[in-house]
Amino acid sequence: MAKVDIRNLNVWFKENHVLKDVSLTIRENAVTAVMGPSGCGKTTLIRAINRMNDVISGSRSSGELFIDGKNVYDSNTNVYELRRKVGMVFQKPNPFPKSIFENVAFGVKIHKMATDKKLSEIVQTSLTEAALWDEVRNRLNDSAFSLSGGQQQRLCIARALAVEPEVILMDEPCSALDPAATAKIEGLMRSLSERYTVIVVTHNLQQAARVSDFTAFMYVGQLIEYGDTNSVFENPKNETTEKYITGKFG
């Protein structure tokens, strides 16, 4: 069942045509990986899903992007609600310079989603879902910056989970982390996909092969191939895909 349905999406940054007529449907409750060489438009693609491209000056887009059947590029879309529903985790962990508790509570507060009493519960649930609770339960008031890189990234995941999203976008979430931390986050991706729709941008082929159910390959702004991960990695249909994943070009 399609959670996100992208149709003929085009994105320009000033004169630069970054995404060219991209169409694909993302399945619910699965992990979809978007891979491709640098500059292929994969980050632009996922940022289109929660309309974070709007923040960049000089950006414009055409085409439609449906989430649960509603076009998020409609003029009457509530962008703030959209971004609550579609959470995002960035490449470099970016917790706020506040306490661990305040980080997770931030989103909940701005959307006025809970009373102060329920807040502690929500923070605990989110941190547990992000596999961080046991490590921070006794120091919720410590600064977020006292955590290691991998822990900070899990904190960012908890922060996104706290506002009860349905889709989670991850933009190369492990590229700044060491292998052990990476393994933890990859495990999280799989467990989160049971309740959420997870879309991961990665330039690490093996990671795409490890964690995803479906893989999309992008090249120079176009969607070249999209299918279930087994097929794409065992027997890709497109020659460019084959060349890319076997390392025969950058």
Partner 1 sequence: MGRKNGETLIFVSLGVPTAICLAAFAWIAGSLFTGIGTLNPALLTTSVLQGGYFEMIMGTIYLLLGAAAIAGPIGLFASIYLVEYARPGKITAIIDQSINNLAGVPSIVIGLFGYTFFSKQLGLGVSLAAGWLTLTLMMLPIVIRGSEESLRMVPGAFKEAALALGATKWKAVSSTSVSGAAPGIVTSVILGMARVAGETAAIIAVSCVLITRGLPKSPLEPVMALSYNLFVRIIALGESAQEVFGIALILFAIVTSFAIFGIVLRTYYRRKQPWLR
Partner 2 sequence: MSRLLDRGLEELTTTLLKMGDVAEKTVRTATAGFMDGKSVSDDVRELSELLLMMTVSVEDKAFELIMRYQPVASDLRIINSYMKIAYDFERFGRYSLDISLTHQKFAYSEKCAYAWDLMETLIDKVMLMIRTSIEALKDNNGEMTKSLAKIENEVDDMFSAYLDKLSKAPPDAKCTICTALVAKYLERIADHATYVGEAIYYIANGQKISLR
Nearest distance in Å: CB 127, partner 1: 16
Q: In this chain, which stretch among 22-30, 41-49, 106-114, 205-213 interacts with partner 2, using CB under 8 A?
A: 205-213
Q: x/- string (CB under 8 A) for partner 2, residues 18-47?
A: ------------------------------
| Total binding residues toward partner 2, as defined by CB under 8 A | 14
Rule CB under 8 A: say whether 248 interacts with partner 2.
Answer: yes
Compute the Cα dihedral for 41, 45, 47, 53 and give only its sign.
positive
* Closer by beta carbon to partner 2, 69 or else 247: 247
β-pair type (31-35, 214-219): parallel
Which residues are CB-neighbours of 218 under 8 A, at least 6 positions away?
A: 22, 34, 35, 36, 40, 41, 42, 45, 224
The pair of three-digit structure tokens given for residue 189, joined into one six-digit string: 């991706």
Nearest distance in Å: CB 111, partner 1: 6
Phi, psi of 74 (to 5 degrees): -65, 150
The pair of three-digit structure tokens given for residue 132, joined into one six-digit string: 């961080």
* Closer by beta carbon to partner 1, 79 or else 120: 79
Q: Which of 205, 220, 222, 227 binds partner 2 (CB under 8 A)?
A: 205
β-pair type (86-89, 70-71): unpaired
